[in-house]
Amino acid sequence: MTKCVFCGKEESPYKGVHLIKNDGSTSFFCSSKCRRNALNLKRDKNKLKWTEAFRITRQRGIEKKNRDTESKAKKELKTEEKKEEVKESKK
């Protein structure tokens, strides 16, 4: 099974198009849609919703946001606890 360079879909090696450049690098495109978007239109695979790269980058972004919000919540809890300790010590 070969994996499409653009969308990430796995296909049989006898389907699709294998592009072999003069420098020896090979690229596999599962469909003309992928080939056109990559070569002719020069689109970024991370910005198209139907590609695997988009899903991966979006998932990373969501995980990063979750980590950021968790760390902010922890910091807020710590500051609130410190404030309460200061109030108790003043009494």
Give per-residue pLDDT as tens, 12-51: 888 899 999 999 999 999 999 999 999 999 999 999 999 9
- Please enumerate in sequence order all residues whose Cβ is within 8 A of that of 10, keeping only pairs 6 or more positions apart, or say none: 1, 2, 3, 4
Q: Model-level pTM?
A: 0.64
User: Which is the CATH superfamily of the domain at 1-43?
Assistant: Ribosomal protein L24 (2.30.170.20)
| Nearest-angstrom CA–CA distance, 5 and 26 | 10
pLDDT of residue 81: 79
